[in-house]
Amino acid sequence: RWMPMVPMIRLLLVYASLRPIFDNTGELFTALGKPRIAGWILMAQAAAVLVICPPLTYFWGAQGAAVAVGMVMAVGVVLAYRQIPQYVNISFATVFAPPLASAVLGAVAVWTANQLAAVEGNVLRFLYQGFVFVIAFGAVLAVLQGRRLYREGKRFFLLLKGQPADGI
């Protein structure tokens, strides 16, 4: 009975995926003593929703509203990330390329697995696709950033034990 909601949830995944990324930039700007940057972007997003959402909702209903908030969040993320290099030395290619490549190849692996084996039942299909995606994503990320993952994992477990993790 929930199947009619699937297209809506897919559209809202754009917003749900981008919101934590945007929130992290807000925290970064606050830590840098520049909270107004995030505030201005949030105000621009609110204004954009007020302008874009009503016509999209009128013509396409709830799906139009979902598209509107996803678009506005995407623009907010772009605006925020354009500001970051003024304050922090960061390579966006180094940060985003490996997980993005892993996600794309994970999606390809799920598509391929679906072509090879048809799994009946929504729950089993979800578990099957999730397992395939996690394995493919993890394998690709390990190939692309294995040393970094090892270092960060080692650092994490040292910190969990209450040991200093400096120099790792």
For residues 106-117, average pLDDT? 95
Query: CA 21, CA 104: separation in Å to the nearest integer?
Result: 18
Q: What is the pLDDT of residues 83-96, one digit of tens each?
A: 999 999 988 888 88
Residue 156 DSSP class: H
CB 77 within 8 A of CB 15: no
CA angle at 40 for the pair 34 and 42, rounded to the nearest 5°: 110
pLDDT at 92: 86
Distance of CA 36 to the CA centre of its chain: 24
Answer left, alpha or beta for residue 118, where phi above 0 means left and psi between -120 and 50 means alpha.
Answer: beta
For residues 93-114, average pLDDT? 94
H helices present in 32-163, as ranges: 35-83, 92-116, 122-160
Q: Is the pLDDT of residue 37 over 90?
A: yes
Q: Is the pLDDT of residue 4 over 90?
A: no
Percent of the chain at pLDDT exceeding 70: 99
Query: CA 157, CA 80: separation in Å to the nearest integer?
Result: 32
What's the predicted TM-score (pTM) here? 0.72
Q: In the structure, what pLDDT confidence band is assigned to residue 1 with cuts at 50, 70 and 90?
A: confident
pLDDT at 5: 87
For 24, list phi and psi in degrees, rounded to 5: -65, -35
Query: CA 134, CA 35: separation in Å to the nearest integer?
Result: 36
Q: Is the pLDDT of residue 168 over 80?
A: no
For residue 116 the two structure tokens come to 């090879």
Q: What is the pLDDT of residues 55-87, one digit of tens each?
A: 999 999 999 999 999 999 999 999 999 999 999
Contacts 24+ apart (CB under 8 A), 28-35: 28/84, 28/87, 28/88, 29/80, 29/83, 29/87, 32/87, 32/88, 34/87
Q: Is the pLDDT of residue 167 over 90?
A: no
Average pLDDT, the chain: 93
pLDDT at 94: 87
CB 158 within 8 A of CB 165: yes
pLDDT at 112: 97
